[in-house]
Amino acid sequence: MFTKLIAAAFAASVAVTGAAHADTDMPFALDWKFEGPAAPYFAAIDEGFFADAGLTVEISEGKGSLDAIPKVATGAYPIGFADINSLMRFLDQNPDAPVTAVMMVYDKPPFAVVGRKSLGVETPKDLEGKVLGAPPPDGAWAQFPIFAAENDLDMSTITVEPVGFPTREPMLAEGKVASVTGFSFSSTLNLKRLGVPMEDQSVILMADHGVDLYGNAIIVNTDFAKANPEAVTGFLKAVAMGWKSAIADPAKAVDALIKRNPAADAGLETERLQMAIDANVMTDYVAENGMGGVDADRMASAIEQTKSVYEFQSEPDAAKYFDSSYLPTDGSLMLK
């Protein structure tokens, strides 16, 4: 059983305590690099939001959601950040894994196909007859079958080139592929840095073309959460406050990021953060309801879309994928 296999790793890596207090360590596994959208979490450290909750938080880079989810499921990290759709499939394949999502961050997912207009890619149908670069562990690539089905794409005419994350944008910049799958705010600005002007880029956001999914969420090891409910709620409150601070002053939040990634371009990462805020985090739903929660009807629709391209081993259960019970109820989730 998965639970038995991870028990030793969990016990060795995470000290299970009761209520949150000064020495509650909560290492946090990101899904990706220290880029603009990660700035709110560093702002939460530097502005003392985690410390106010009695938490010591150290943030680690990731290599995609398929890297972050097992880290949390095995207990190597008590908490992380990953695509909820990838989490659904992971839990279907590992039904005993003690991991679930507890706070939605990307209410509108950044899954995108980014192409170059000069290479003939501006609309979904333009992908036919061309080469698409897709990293196998990429969250956007995982949702591409839904996007393809919703847009009636003839996959037999699309050449899919498996690429690595480091080579994805360089290959598009060099014209070796006509488009790539990725997060909109990552691929576009990486291309810009490589000299591809924004006016030559086409950003086909899957959410604008029939894909009714949620995006990345805070995920937690459920064994840890059950033993430390106050710590988890305190962590989520600090995350919300970090995002609220970043929305008010993106450049200041990016300053906290640059401390951890001095090689990053502050201007570019501020632009990347602002893109995530505008397109993915601060949606109409979040403006009205606050960040963190999910709409039950939309979640059901997302599961149905996933079922159309993925054969679940057992009947999917939304309650297994998202648990709202740890969200703070003190109004801190309202971002404005």
Instruction: Tell me the β-bridge partners of 145.
Output: none
| Answer CATH for 111-208 from 3.30.70.270, 3.40.50.720, 3.40.190.10, 3.40.50.150 | 3.40.190.10
Task: Kindly report, residue by residue over 36-81, the tens digit of the pLDDT.
Answer: 999 999 999 999 999 999 999 999 999 888 899 999 999 999 999 9
Give residue 2's pLDDT.
Answer: 54
Domain 2-107+214-326 has what CATH class? Answer: alpha beta
Task: Kindly report, residue by residue over 205-243, the tens digit of the pLDDT.
Answer: 999 999 999 999 999 999 999 999 999 999 999 999 999
Structure tokens at 5: 């296999």
Give residue 258's pLDDT.
Answer: 98
* Structure-token match 């150290």, residue found: 58
Q: What is the pLDDT of the chain when averaged over all its residues? A: 92
Contact 57, 108 (CB under 8 A): no
How would DSSP label each residue in 243-281? HHHHHH-HHHHHHHHHHH-TTS-HHHHHHHHHHHIIIII
Check pLDDT > 80 for residue 13: no
Assess whether the region 2-107+214-326 and the region 111-208 belong to the same CATH fold.
Answer: yes
Domain ranges of the chain: 2-107+214-326, 111-208
Q: What is the mean pLDDT of residues 182-204?
A: 95
Task: Kindly report, residue by residue over 99-156, the tens digit of the pLDDT.
Answer: 999 999 999 999 999 999 999 999 999 999 999 999 998 889 989 999 999 999 999 9
Neighbours of 303 (CB within 10 A): 19
Check pLDDT > 60 for residue 1: no
Contact 220, 72 (CB under 8 A): yes
Check pLDDT > 50 for residue 331: yes
Q: What is the mean pLDDT of residues 262-280?
A: 96
Q: In 136-253, at which residue ranges do the beta strands (DSSP E only) sit?
A: 159-162, 179-183, 201-205, 216-221
Q: What is the mean pLDDT of residues 279-300?
A: 96
